[in-house]
Amino acid sequence: MKLGILSDLHLGYERFHEDAYAQASEALTSAAAAADALLIPGDIFDMRNPKPEVLAEAINLFRTLEEKKWEARVVSLEGEGRLFTDVPVIAIPGTHERRAHGAADPVDLLSLAGFLVDISEATAIIEKGGERVAVCGLGGIAEERFREALAQRNAQPVKGAFNIFLFHQSVFELLPFSKDFINLEELPKGFDLYIDGHIHSRVEKKVHGKPFLIPGSTVLTQLKENEQDAKGFYIFDTETGKYEFHQIKSRRFVSAKVDVDGKEPKEIKEAVRKRIDSVLRECSNPIIRIELTGRMKEGFKHMDIDVRELAKSYEGRAVIEISKGSMEEIGLQLKEGHAKGALEQPVREFGLGILVERLKKNGYALKVNPTDLFDILSADVPKEKALKKAMDEIFER
């Protein structure tokens, strides 16, 4: 059987809403055309309570899948939940969709409507011409509860079938930030293929001697350096054990550093423009993230560089994000400049300086840029909400 594996579609993702829809659509359609069954390890939606418009988008996408003449069929479901279709489109909710136990999440809705089979606490058997594939799923859950959920579930391979374990969690070997993250060797044994969602860049590894695949998201969400690879999906052949990554048309993302050492704001702007223009010659309407690094010429301050105006001048041609978080001046400001400096600076820049200083002192090495972190934490929302968003950015996506 040929299995199409795609993940983290993030329908409704606000920043790149159209990209999320268009790229999910291409991934689903192309994967369905090439595969006997589709497996989606979580985060079909970007939120647990999608607006009706976003639900409509999802229904439109999944209804098209239902129209294909699938030879393979889901013949049984063991565990919690019910079968409302035999169409072999199988999914679990991810961390973005997860709600309290018993509360309906948006993946439940798609399942109830008969568009897919939700296996967040179940094993589905797919059959095609005598071949059986068993997919054992475990929906996304808070990281600190995953080991307990695994033990409780006691996932077992099904005899006489090709066995897949499908989940949506952080893995310690890939994100060594928390002891809560599962180690690959702790995953249940005896499966022929392990599929994980949650991590937005593509990963191919081995677990218990068998392939472990993360297809990555179909849409860009974080603007991290490792998200520059093309987006797409896997086709896995259960007969040969071989798999191939298929690219989709996704908006190009370029992450680049521009050195500001000894430069004046005018020269820095020119250097940034030069870098952006060189990308624009290669592709249209990309997303470009520029990180300014080093120390500017004496006598100038980082706020003399108007990054907003610079970014705005590319409106309609590119999405530009310019980060000053790695400029030395921001870190040094507190040491050199005292209260007087604080009075001269806009509050935002001063606060950013303090945050970067503290993070450096504590050996901060996570991938969320300090500037981004500052923006999230200082957003105009209740404190708990801002903190939660920051934690989500760092650990969840």
Nearest to 224, CA basis, from 215, 232, 216: 216
What angle (nearest 5°) sits at the alpha carbon of residue 356, between those of residues 354 and 361?
95
Nearest to 165, CA basis, from 184, 137, 139: 137
In the bound complex, what is the minimum distance in angstroms from residue 176's beta carbon to Mn ion? 19
Window contacting Mn ion (CB under 5 A); options: 2-10, 15-23, 150-158, 172-180: 2-10
24 burial class (0-12, 13-18, 19+ CB within 10 angstroms)?
buried
In the bound complex, what is the minimum distance in angstroms from residue 57's beta carbon to Mn ion? 17
What DSSP assignment string belongs to 333-357? HHHHHHHHHHHHS-HHHHHHHHHHH
In the bound state with Mn ion, the residue whose beta carbon lies nearer, of 13 and 236, is: 13
What DSSP assignment string belongs to 104-154? PPHHHHHHHTTSSEE-TTEEEEEEETTEEEEEEEE----GGGHHHHHHHH-
What DSSP assignment string belongs to 161-177? SEEEEEE---BTTT-TT
In the bound state with Mn ion, the residue whose beta carbon lies nearer, of 43 and 57, is: 43
Nearest to 258, CA basis, from 225, 209, 294: 294
Which parts of 246-275 interact with Mn ion (CB under 5 A)? none
In the bound state with Mn ion, the residue whose beta carbon lies nearer, of 8 and 192, is: 8
Q: DSSP E strands: which ranges in the chain?
A: 2-5, 37-40, 73-79, 89-91, 117-118, 122-128, 131-138, 162-167, 193-196, 203-207, 210-214, 232-237, 243-247, 253-259, 287-293, 319-323
Window contacting Mn ion (CB under 5 A); options: 6-14, 128-136, 280-288, 322-330: 6-14
Applying CB under 5 A, among 4, 8, 70, 305 the residue interacting with Mn ion is 8
Window contacting Mn ion (CB under 5 A); options: 35-43, 248-256, 323-331, 352-360: 35-43
- 196 sits near Mn ion (criterion: CB under 5 A): no
Which parts of 37-76 interact with Mn ion (CB under 5 A)? 43
In the bound complex, what is the minimum distance in angstroms from residue 221's beta carbon to Mn ion? 7
Task: Determine the 3-state secondary structure of 189 from DSSP.
Answer: coil
In the bound complex, what is the minimum distance in angstroms from residue 187's beta carbon to Mn ion? 19
In the bound state with Mn ion, the residue whose beta carbon lies nearer, of 210 and 397, is: 397
Look up residue 298 and give its amino acid: E
In the bound state with Mn ion, the residue whose beta carbon lies nearer, of 192 and 227, is: 227
Q: How far apart are CA 329 and CA 332, in angstroms?
A: 5
In the bound complex, what is the minimum distance in angstroms from residue 144's beta carbon to Mn ion? 18
In the bound state with Mn ion, the residue whose beta carbon lies nearer, of 218 and 333, is: 218
Cα 299 to the center of its chain, rounded Å: 41
In the bound state with Mn ion, the residue whose beta carbon lies nearer, of 40 and 352, is: 40
In the bound complex, what is the minimum distance in angstroms from residue 12's beta carbon to Mn ion? 12
In the bound complex, what is the minimum distance in angstroms from residue 43's beta carbon to Mn ion? 4
In the bound complex, what is the minimum distance in angstroms from residue 151's beta carbon to Mn ion? 25
Count of residues that bind Mn ion according to CB under 5 A? 3
Task: Determine the 3-state secondary structure of 289 from DSSP.
Answer: strand
Residues making contact with Mn ion (CB under 5 A)? 8, 43, 397
